[in-house]
Amino acid sequence: MVIPLSTPATEGALLVPYPATLDVPHELVEHVAWLLYEHRRVRNTRWRKLGCFKQALLTLVHLRKNETFSQLGAGFGISQATAWRYVDEALDVLDSWAPGLHEALTGLGEGDHVIVDGTLIPTDRVRADEPYYSMKHRRHGMNVQVIARPDGTPLWFSRATPGRTHDLTAARAHSIVQACLTRQIRVLADRAYQGAGATFRTPYHHHSEQPEHYLQFNRDHARLRAPVERAFAQLKSWRLLRRARCSTRRIGTIVQAVHTLLTCNYSG
């Protein structure tokens, strides 16, 4: 008799580890390992079952492949609880190294321009969790704002706010509007940011008899703003952020941890 893998007969069964590869540079794993080593040294941490390199690899596997802690524990020879603690600690370390808004805008000023947009990090929520439901995306999640260079290179990711938060509200709450105004940085944004004023540039409203030069402006604006999708693609290349199963309170930390991984300089 053949028992399908999805039947309850396999629930609670031991997981079988297997060889696998991770599509990140070896230097990135070493860089995260050095950050963890410094963290352990400062705290005078006692002996751990996993060394710094293995803990860094464990964390990157979790972020990149979105594997559960049970799967991670089986693969690294540790318990599910230990895997959770190691990943949680590493995320906090990476979060502490994420650049702040003012640091990210250093070197930019009058005459420069950036692109601002928001994205939704999907989450597992029930219908009753109204604050996390985005009417725009028709699903539950967390709102994250991004500031990107004209070529789409991400400069800064915001903390996560509940999915129903309007993009303009989020931009004001994260001080993006004020920071760009202070530096006189021009901002390209979509219609969700209309009313931001300051240095924000948004498309014209659609009207039935809109002048041709307004339509041309909107087309040019959309073309210049399109590269922001590259920033979102880089963020969500870490599969955990395509469908987060964790607490919504931890998503902000995860986004900042990924931000560190995207912006860190490990070449030297």
CB neighbours of 70 closer than 8 A, spacing ≥ 6?
Answer: 15, 80
Q: Is residue 176 part of a domain?
A: yes
The answer to whether residues 80 and 107 belong to one domain is: no
Give the pairing type, strands 161-162 and 154-157. unpaired
- Enter the pTM of the model: 0.86
pLDDT at res. 82: 95
**Which residues constitute the domain of residue 164?**
101-235
pLDDT at res. 27: 94
Q: Is residue 14 part of a domain?
A: no
The answer to whether residues 212 and 125 belong to one domain is: yes
Q: Is residue 241 part of a domain?
A: no
Q: How many structural domains compose the chain?
A: 2
Q: What are phi and psi of 118, to 5 degrees?
A: -120, 155
Q: What long-range pairs does 227-231 form, CB within 8 A, spacing at least 24?
A: 227/115, 227/148, 227/150, 227/151, 227/152, 228/115, 228/116, 228/117, 228/146, 228/148, 228/152, 229/152, 230/148, 230/151, 230/152, 230/153, 231/115, 231/146, 231/148, 231/152, 231/153, 231/154
Q: Is residue 240 part of a domain?
A: no
pLDDT at res. 164: 86
The answer to whether residues 84 and 129 belong to one domain is: no
The answer to whether residues 164 and 123 belong to one domain is: yes
The answer to whether residues 253 and 132 belong to one domain is: no
pLDDT at res. 19: 75
pLDDT at res. 110: 85
Low-confidence spans in the chain with pLDDT less than 70: 1-13, 125-130, 206-210, 265-268
